[in-house]
Structure 1
Amino acid sequence: MNMKILNYKYLIITLAAFFAFVHVRAQETEFHPGKLWFDNNQRLINAHGGGVLYHEGQYYWFGEHKGERSNAAWVGVTCYSSSDLYNWSDEGVALAVSKDNTSPIVAGSTIERPKVIYNETTGKFVMYFHLELKGQGYEAAHVGVAVSDKPTGPYELVKNDRVNPGEWPLNMTEAQRNATDKVEDYEWWTPEWTKAIENGLFVRRDFESGQMSRDMTLFVDDDQKGYHIYSSEDNLTLHIAELTEDYLSYTGKYIRIAPAGHNEAPAIFKKDGKYFMITSGCTGWDPNEARLLTADHVLGEWTLHPNPAVGKGAELTFHSQSTYILPVAGKKDAFIFMADRWRPENPIDGRYVWLPVLFEDGMPVLKWFNKWDLSVFDEK
Structure 2
Amino acid sequence: MPPHTTRPWRAPAVLLALLAALALVVPLTANRVHAAEHHRSDGSGRAVQQSTTVSRYLFTAFTNSGESNMYVYGSDDARNFWSIQDKAYTPPSGLVRDPSVIHRGGRYYVAYTTGWTGTTFGLAVSDDRRTWTHLADIDHGVAANNTWAPEFFTDAPDGKVRVVVSLSTGPTAYRHFQPYVLTALDDTLTKWSEPRPLEGIAPSESDYNGYIDTFVVRKGATYHAFTKNATGELIEHAVADRVTGPYRFTGKGDWAGWGSLLEGQTVVALPGGGYRMFMDGYTVKKYYYSDSPDLEHWTPKRELPGLSGVVRHGTVIRETATVRPGDANPALPGYHADPDVMYAEGRYWIYPTEDGHPGWSGTRFNGFSSPDLVHWTDHGPALDLADVSWCHENAWAPSVVKKGDTYWMYFSACQSIGVAKSSSPQGPFTDALGKPLVAKGQFGHQSIDPDAFVDDDGTPYLYFGQGAFEAARLNDDMVSFATQPVKITPPGYNEAPTVFKRAGRYYAMWSEDDTRSPDYRVAYGVSDSPLGPFTKAAGNPVLAKDPSDQILGTGHNSVIQVPGRDEWYIVYHRFARPGGDGTHREVAIDRMRFDPDGTIQKIRPTQAGIDPVP
| TM-score range normalised by the length of the shorter chain | 0.5 to 0.7
Provide closer, same or farther for how the CA distance between residues 367 and 318 of structure 1 changes in structure 2, counting only shifts above 3 A.
farther
Q: Cα offset for 1:276?
A: 1.1
1:358: which partner in 2? Answer: 593
Conservation of the 8 A alpha-carbon contact between 1:325 and 1:336: yes
2:397 pairs with one of 91, 104, 113: 113
Conservation of the 8 A alpha-carbon contact between 1:73 and 1:97: no
1:143: which partner in 2? Answer: 417
1:226 pairs with one of 439, 460, 468: 460
Provide closer, same or farther for how the CA distance between residues 228 and 80 of structure 1 changes in structure 2, counting only shifts above 3 A.
same
Structure 1 residue runs of 5 or longer lacking an equivalent are 1-20, 39-43, 133-140, 166-204
Mapping of residues 211-290 of structure 1, within 5 Å: 212-231=446-465, 235-258=466-489, 261-286=492-517, 287-290=519-522
TM-score where L is the length of structure 2? 0.42
2:44 pairs with one of 21, 25, 30: 25
Conservation of the 8 A alpha-carbon contact between 1:319 and 1:341: yes
Conservation of the 8 A alpha-carbon contact between 1:47 and 1:63: yes
2:72: which partner in 1? Answer: none
Deviations 1:25-46 (A, max 9, x none): 355499846x4445xxxxx255
TM-score where L is the length of structure 1? 0.66
Q: Cα offset for 1:93?
A: 0.6
Provide closer, same or farther for how the CA distance between residues 258 and 348 of structure 1 changes in structure 2, counting only shifts above 3 A.
closer
C-alpha distance in structure 2 between counterparts of 1:337 and 1:262, whole Å = 18
C-alpha distance in structure 1 between counterparts of 2:368 and 2:594, whole Å = 29
C-alpha distance in structure 1 between counterparts of 2:464 and 2:496, whole Å = 8
2:353: which partner in 1? Answer: 64
Moved over 6 A (4+): 344-348
Q: Cα offset for 1:348?
A: 7.5
C-alpha distance in structure 2 between counterparts of 1:32 and 1:115, whole Å = 27
- For 1:98, what is the secondary structure of its paired residue? helix
Provide closer, same or farther for how the CA distance between residues 70 and 280 of structure 1 changes in structure 2, counting only shifts above 3 A.
closer
2:409: which partner in 1? Answer: 127
Conservation of the 8 A alpha-carbon contact between 2:366 and 2:380: yes
2:436 pairs with one of 161, 168, 189: 161
2:279: which partner in 1? Answer: none
Instruction: Indicate yes or no: 2:598 matched with 1:367.
Output: no
1:86 pairs with one of 353, 374, 384: 374
Conservation of the 8 A alpha-carbon contact between 1:69 and 1:347: no
- For 1:87, what is the secondary structure of its paired residue? coil
- For 2:469, what is the secondary structure of its paired residue? strand
Deviations 1:1-38 (A, max 9, x none): xxxxxxxxxxxxxxxxxxxx9964355499846x4445
Provide closer, same or farther for how the CA distance between residues 32 and 219 of structure 1 changes in structure 2, counting only shifts above 3 A.
farther
1:324: which partner in 2? Answer: 558
Q: Cα offset for 1:152?
A: 0.9
1:341 pairs with one of 568, 574, 596: 574
1:135: which partner in 2? Answer: none
C-alpha distance in structure 1 between counterparts of 2:41 and 2:468, whole Å = 50
C-alpha distance in structure 1 between counterparts of 2:494 and 2:406, whole Å = 31
- For 1:92, what is the secondary structure of its paired residue? strand
Conservation of the 8 A alpha-carbon contact between 2:339 and 2:351: yes
The amino acid that maps onto 1:125 is Y
The amino acid that maps onto 1:156 is T
1:195: which partner in 2? Answer: none
Conservation of the 8 A alpha-carbon contact between 1:337 and 1:356: yes
Q: Cα offset for 1:89?
A: 1.1
C-alpha distance in structure 2 between counterparts of 1:354 and 1:22, whole Å = 16
Provide closer, same or farther for how the CA distance between residues 308 and 32 of structure 1 changes in structure 2, counting only shifts above 3 A.
farther
Q: CA RMSD, aligned part only?
A: 3.7
Structure 2 residue runs of 5 or longer lacking an equivalent are 1-39, 49-324
Provide closer, same or farther for how the CA distance between residues 282 and 131 of structure 1 changes in structure 2, counting only shifts above 3 A.
farther
Instruction: Choose between structure 1 and 2: higher helix proportion.
Output: 1
C-alpha distance in structure 2 between counterparts of 1:326 and 1:59, whole Å = 9
Q: Cα offset for 1:371?
A: 2.0
Q: Cα offset for 1:62?
A: 1.2
Provide closer, same or farther for how the CA distance between residues 274 and 54 of structure 1 changes in structure 2, counting only shifts above 3 A.
same
Instruction: Indicate yes or no: 2:340 matched with 1:51.
Output: yes
Q: Cα offset for 1:342?
A: 4.0
- For 1:251, what is the secondary structure of its paired residue? coil
Provide closer, same or farther for how the CA distance between residues 260 and 82 of structure 1 changes in structure 2, counting only shifts above 3 A.
closer
C-alpha distance in structure 1 between counterparts of 2:569 and 2:467, whole Å = 26
Provide closer, same or farther for how the CA distance between residues 273 and 242 of structure 1 changes in structure 2, counting only shifts above 3 A.
same
Conservation of the 8 A alpha-carbon contact between 2:396 and 2:413: yes
Aligned length: 292
C-alpha distance in structure 1 between counterparts of 2:448 and 2:536, whole Å = 21
C-alpha distance in structure 2 between counterparts of 1:270 and 1:31, whole Å = 32
Conservation of the 8 A alpha-carbon contact between 2:491 and 2:536: no
C-alpha distance in structure 2 between counterparts of 1:312 and 1:37, whole Å = 17
Conservation of the 8 A alpha-carbon contact between 2:573 and 2:586: yes
Deviations 1:174-199 (A, max 9, x none): xxxxxxxxxxxxxxxxxxxxxxxxxx
The amino acid that maps onto 2:369 is S
- For 1:237, what is the secondary structure of its paired residue? coil
Q: Cα offset for 1:99?
A: 7.5
Q: Percent identity?
A: 23
Provide closer, same or farther for how the CA distance between residues 32 and 245 of structure 1 changes in structure 2, counting only shifts above 3 A.
farther
The amino acid that maps onto 1:154 is P
C-alpha distance in structure 1 between counterparts of 2:546 and 2:461, whole Å = 32
Provide closer, same or farther for how the CA distance between residues 284 and 60 of structure 1 changes in structure 2, counting only shifts above 3 A.
closer
- For 2:44, what is the secondary structure of its paired residue? helix
C-alpha distance in structure 1 between counterparts of 2:531 and 2:551, whole Å = 27
Conservation of the 8 A alpha-carbon contact between 1:164 and 1:211: no
- For 1:73, what is the secondary structure of its paired residue? coil
Q: Cα offset for 1:367?
A: 2.6
1:98: which partner in 2? Answer: 386
C-alpha distance in structure 2 between counterparts of 1:341 and 1:348, whole Å = 10
Conservation of the 8 A alpha-carbon contact between 2:494 and 2:514: no
Q: Cα offset for 1:50?
A: 1.9
